[in-house]
Structures are given as structure tokens and as C-alpha cells.
Amino acid sequence: MTKDHGKTKQKIVNGIVSFFKYLSLVFFSFMAILPVVSCVITAFKTEEEYNTTNVMTLPKSFLNFSNFVDSFQQANMGRAFINSTIILICVLLISTLLGTQLAYVLSRFKFKGNGLIRNLFLVATLLPGIAMQIAVYKLMYTFGLINSLMGYIVMMCGTDVISIYIYMQFFDNLPISLDESATVEGANYFTIFYKILLPLLKPAIVTSCIIKGVATYNEYYCANLYLQDKKRFATVATSLYTFVGPLGSKYNLICAGLIISLLPALIIFITCQDQIYSGLTNGAVKG
Amino acid sequence: MNSTIAKKENHGWKAWLGSRQGQKVLVITTFMTLPLLLLFFFTYLPFGQMVGFSFFKMKYTGEKSFVGWDNYINVFKRKDCFGALKLSLYYMLGSVVQLALALYLATILSFKTKGGKLFKGFMFFPYLINGIAVGFIFKFFYTRGFVFDTVLQWCGFDLENLPYWLKDQAINNFSLVGTSVWRYFGQNMVLFIGAIMSVDATMYEAAMIDGANKWQQFLYIILPNIKNIVVLNVILSISGSLSAFEPPYVITDGANGTGTYFVIMHQIAHTQQKVGLASAMAVILLCIILLCTVLQKLLFKYVFKDVDDDSYSNEQAKKSKKAAKMAKKAAKMKTEVGR
């Protein structure tokens, strides 16, 4: 009898726990999308509607795309999308290759200076990026890398730490016996890395590429500083600066512009979401 | 004589390259050269130069004159510089809330949840938005009578009683911190989920067989295994709150008492072009950040006595032993609780 009593009690506790679980999930999800939803609503309003209705009132039609067309043209977003694509591809390729290689060496080999190098990278995360730009700017100027996509790309690759930790954590959880059995079969370290470990790292690579990719796509401080020629070198993020100033209160136009700017990130996120999650859950260790 | 040695070495060089040891050195050097070069050129070299700048009165171009410690003295003397650091307390509070929230939600979502993917997507979504867009979104969001006020009115608040979220100095820093938490808690959450998921799944199985409940699984399996990434995030968020920059920069431009240390520094460096003074501000902040980090590490060492993040060598072996121990411990606790 006490057993049954315990079971019903357990059930009630489980019920309460899952109630609060879903309540918190719903609440925080709502808070997360509310500001964006309000922008979507506003982006579809005509000027007249925007001036006369409350911001949370739905627009008459969700097919009014004139704001989007206007802001795409005014902010020169065609050029901006081309630039951002070039930057994104280069930065992701280079930093993934360098990051995985570095993590491989640091987590698989014992050598003098291993700890020192880890610490150098850790200390680098502590150096505030904005402050460093005072000196980096002079350096880039000296090397003639202002208004150069190449220079900006190299600089973006130079500051990449979080992903190293994701890779290292992943390496720590890949059994070392994988390496050992490959060694027995005569593979050298390069083969082990490229043929065996790199494919297994795919889930970690996808995750960190998304994180690094979003950071790169959204980066605006350095882009504003180093790609000053806005006609030729505007990125999607910096093209939004068009709306600072006289256009600053036309929120129907601004909201349309910023929704265009975050569409690519959203599309990539929605399509790659499955890949991240399944990649992370079916980690290589299981198979 | 020298040449014979060189020859000998040269001869041995190929054989050595073929050896295990040689291979190891080769792979280490090829894989580490570029990252270390980048690290040097974009972090440590500019840092060194910045320390140098801080002793000069200079602009980006033109002459500079040596002024000794004057810039440092000025940072402490000027009211707008050092006082601005007080604002980071708001951001520190925010980052604690953010990390706790992220860990809580990550743990929830790492167990089976209906619609978990959707929730995760929604909460991660703000991270995808670029800083300038965030600036516009929240200028819009907090405007009098706009989004936030409307929602609060739905909840029964009277517009008359609501403050001006970005102008009222009693509240505007909280408003800005809120945007920062809004933007980053989802990213922290995904990092934590990633770390939790990469925990060897057999550990959960073992724990389940031994009858450990979810809280015990969290305490003895999840937490120890994601310790590294949690510690890293705590360190990053403390330095992040001292160097809070983005919300005030993009939303209020530092007006109405929201100018954090870095916003002031940015204005001094790029608007007023006082590079020396700005460099001194940067160096001082860096010293504070390093001090905090050391204190934090000591604290962590004291709280979790077995944190030794420099010896990764035996970790694999240790981990499996630890896991077995944990499962036993959890099972033991369970039976004790059962009684």
C-alpha cells in the first residue's frame, strides 16, 4: 500500500515538474521572439497604417512588400549580400581548418608548451576586442589593409577561440583507441587527422561554423572600421547604417530592412538546425 | 668539422622524419604555425603596441610626445572614465542571470521534451540578429507606447505609471542589460546543450540502470562533464560585463548615463582621437579583468577541488573511472533516499 502511495505521489511530482518545465519554455520562447515579431508586423504596414495604428495591431495585408523593395534599394543591399557571402565562405573555410588542426594537436599530443599555448589562447579571450582595435587599426593601416576584403577576412580568422574549445571538448570525448588502432595499421598523424578524426568531428564543425558564421555575418564594428568605402565594401550588417539619420523614425522601412538582413541567417539556421541536433546527439562515439 | 656534423644530421633528418617522434614534431609544427602567427599578429603584437601608446600623447596620425604616466593618472582623475565602470555591475548581474537561465534551459532541453526543437530554435534565434538590427529593434521596442508598453498594458499596467525605458536613469541600464541577456542566453544554452550531448551516452545508461534520477544525473554526470565549458563561459561573461559595449553603443549611444567604460573609451579613441588616453583606459581595464580571472580561478579551485584544467593527459582514463564511481555514488544515494 505504501508502495502505491509512493507511486501516485511520484506521479503528482512529475506532473508539477513538467508543468513548470513547459511553462518556462513557453515563457522564455515568447520573450525571445516578441521583439522580432513586432518588427515583422511593422514591416508590412503602409506609411499611413504605421502612423495611425498601434504597433502591435496586425497590418491589413501581409502581402505589402513595398517597404522591403524600398529599403533593399536604399541600403544598396545587393552589393552588401555579395560582399558578405565572399567574407563568410573564406572565413569559415580558413578558421575551421585552422581550429580543428590546432585542437587536434593540443588535445592529442603531450609536448612542452602545450599548456602555455592553451593559456595564450585563453588569455587572448580576455583581451577585450573593441579595445584592441585601437592598435589593430594602426597595424592594418601600416599593412595597407584598410578597405580590403582580404585584410578583413584575415583579421576575422585571427580571433577565433570559442570554437577551439568546442573542438577540444569533442576530441576529449573521442576515444583515443581510434587513433591507436589507426597507428597500428600504419597511418601517420596526417592521415589519422584528415581521414579518421575530421569526418567524426563533423557535428562539432557544423555547430561551430554556425556560431562563427553568424558572428561573421553579423559583425559590424570592425566592418565599419576597416571597410570604410560603403559603396563598394558594405556588408549586410553595415548596410543598415543607411537608416541612421534622416530615415531614423520610419520604422516601417527600417523593420523591413532589418528583416531582409536577418533572413539569410534564419534560412540557414532552419535548414541546418536538424544537422546540428542530430549531429550532436548521434555523436561518433556511439557508432 | 661543422660540415660533417651537418651532413650527419642531414642524413639522420630523413630517417628521423620517418620516425614516430619526427612525425609528431612535423604534425605539431604544421598544424600550429598559422594559428600561432594569427594569434601573434592580431592579439599579442597589437596589445604590446597599445601598452606603448598609453605612454604617449598621440593621435592616429601625426606626431606623438612621451608623457609618462599622465594618461593613467587622467583615467582616474576624469569623472567620465573610471566612474563608468560602475555600470558593469548591471551587466555582471545580467550575465549571472543569463548563464543560470541558459544552464537551466539546456538541462531541461537535454531530456526528452515535446516541441523541444522548436523551443530551442526560438530561444536561440535572437543570437542570429546582427548588432545594428538589435539596436533598431530595441529603440523601437522601448519607445513610449510601442511594443513593450503595449504588452505591459495587456498585462494590466497603466501607461501613465510606466517609465521611459531608455531615458529614465533609474531603469535604463536594466533595459539595456535585458537586451544583452535576450540576445545571448540562447547561444549559451546551445553551447551547454552541445557539451551535454557530447557526454558519453553509456554514462546515462549506466546511471539509469543503477536507478539515478534526473537531478542526480545532472549533478554527477552532466555537471562534471561540462565543467570546462561552464568555467570558460563564466570567465568570458565576467570580462564581457566589464567590457560591456554593444547595447549602449547601438541603442542609446551612451546618452542619459548609459555610457559604459568602453563606450566612453570608443568615443575618446575615435571621436576625440586621444589614442594615448584610450590606450591607457584599455590597459587599466585589462589589468582589472586579469585580476578578476585569477580570483575567479582560485574561487573555482576552492569550490570544485578537483578542477585542474592543465592536466588533460590522463583525463580519458580518469573520466571512465570517475563515471563508474559516480554511477555507484548515485545508486547509493538513491537507495539511501529510498529508505
A283 has a chain B CB within 8 A of its CB = yes
Which has the higher per-residue pLDDT, B197 or A51?
A: A51
Residue B156: pLDDT over 80: yes
Question: How many CB pairs below 8 Å do chains A and B form together?
Answer: 273
- Dihedral (CA of A201, A206, A208, A212) sign: positive
Which has the higher per-residue pLDDT, B2 or B60?
A: B60
Question: Cell 628521423 maps to which residue?
Answer: B16
Nearest-CA distance from B14 to chain A in Å? 15
Question: Cell 497603466 maps to which residue?
Answer: B158
**A118-167: per-residue pLDDT in tens?**
888 888 877 777 888 888 988 888 888 889 999 999 988 886 666 787 78
Between CA B145 and CA B162 the distance in angstroms is 10
Q: What is the mean pLDDT of residues B53-68?
A: 88
* CA proximity to A134, closest of B53, B203, B295, B27: B53
Dihedral of the alpha carbons of B42, B48, B49, B51, in degrees to the nearest 10 = 130
* CA proximity to B88, closest of B250, B293, B289: B289
- Dihedral (CA of B273, B274, B280, B285) sign: negative
How does DSSP classify residue A59? Answer: P
Cβ atoms < 10 Å from Cβ of A179: 19
Between CA A74 and CA B268 the distance in angstroms is 32
- Dihedral (CA of B183, A166, B194, B308) sign: negative
Q: Which of residues 202-221 of B touch A (CB under 8 A)?
A: none
At residue A275, the pLDDT reads: 62
**pTM beyond 0.80:** no
Question: Cell 564594428 maps to which residue?
Answer: A221
pLDDT band at B1 (very low <50, low <70, confident <90, very high): very low
Residue B322: pLDDT over 80: no
Closest CB to B128: pick one of A118, A135, A265: A265
Residue B33: pLDDT over 80: yes
pLDDT band at B45 (very low <50, low <70, confident <90, very high): very high
Nearest C-alpha in A relative to B293: A126
* CA proximity to A235, closest of A247, A246, A225, A245: A225
Between CA B118 and CA B115 the distance in angstroms is 5
Helix axes A77-108 and A114-126, enclosed angle (nearest 10): 150
Q: What is the mean pLDDT of residues B322-336?
A: 48
Which DSSP string do the residues of B98-164 spell out, in sequence order? HHHHHHHHHHHHHS--TTHHHHHHHHHGGGGS-HHHHHHHHHHHHSTTSHHHHHHHHTT--GGG---
Say what percent of chain B tops pLDDT 70.
Answer: 85
Nearest-CA distance from B1 to chain A in Å? 31
At residue A203, the pLDDT reads: 76
Burial class (CB in 10 A: 0-12, 13-18, 19+), B90: buried
Provide the mean pLDDT of chain A.
Answer: 84
At residue A287, the pLDDT reads: 21
**B80-106: per-residue pLDDT in tens?**
888 788 888 899 899 989 999 999 998
Which DSSP string do the residues of A224-283 spell out, in sequence order? HHH---HHHH--HHHHGGGGSSTTTT-HHHHHHHHHHHHHHHHHHHHHHHHHHHHHHHT-
From residue A112, alpha-carbon distances to A1, A45, A211 in Å are 65, 63, 31
Closest CB to B105: pick one of A28, A54, A173: A28
3-state DSSP call for residue B334?
helix
User: What DSSP element (H or E) covers A24?
Assistant: helix A2-43
Closest CB to A283: pick one of B119, B198, B269: B198
Parallel, antiparallel, or unpaired: how do β-strands B64-66 and B56-58 relate? Answer: antiparallel
From residue B122, alpha-carbon distances to A27, A82, A116 in Å are 11, 28, 39
**B177-232: per-residue pLDDT in tens?**
999 999 988 878 877 887 787 777 788 788 878 877 778 888 888 888 787 777 77
Burial of A242-265, coded b for 16+ CB within 10 Å and e otherwise, reads bbeeeeeebbbbbbbbbbbbbebb
Between CA B71 and CA B54 the distance in angstroms is 7
**Contact between A240 and B132 using a beta-carbon 8 Å cutoff:** yes
Determine what percent of chain B falls in helix, strand and coil, rounding each to the nearest 5. Answer: 75, 0, 20
B210-215, long-range: CB < 8 A, 24+ apart: B210/B327, B210/B328, B210/B330, B210/B331, B210/B334, B211/B330, B211/B331, B211/B334, B211/B335, B212/B327, B212/B330, B212/B331, B212/B333, B212/B334, B213/B334, B214/B111
Q: Which of residues 25-64 of B touch A (CB under 8 A)?
A: 26-28, 30-32, 34-36, 38-39, 41-47, 49-50, 53, 60
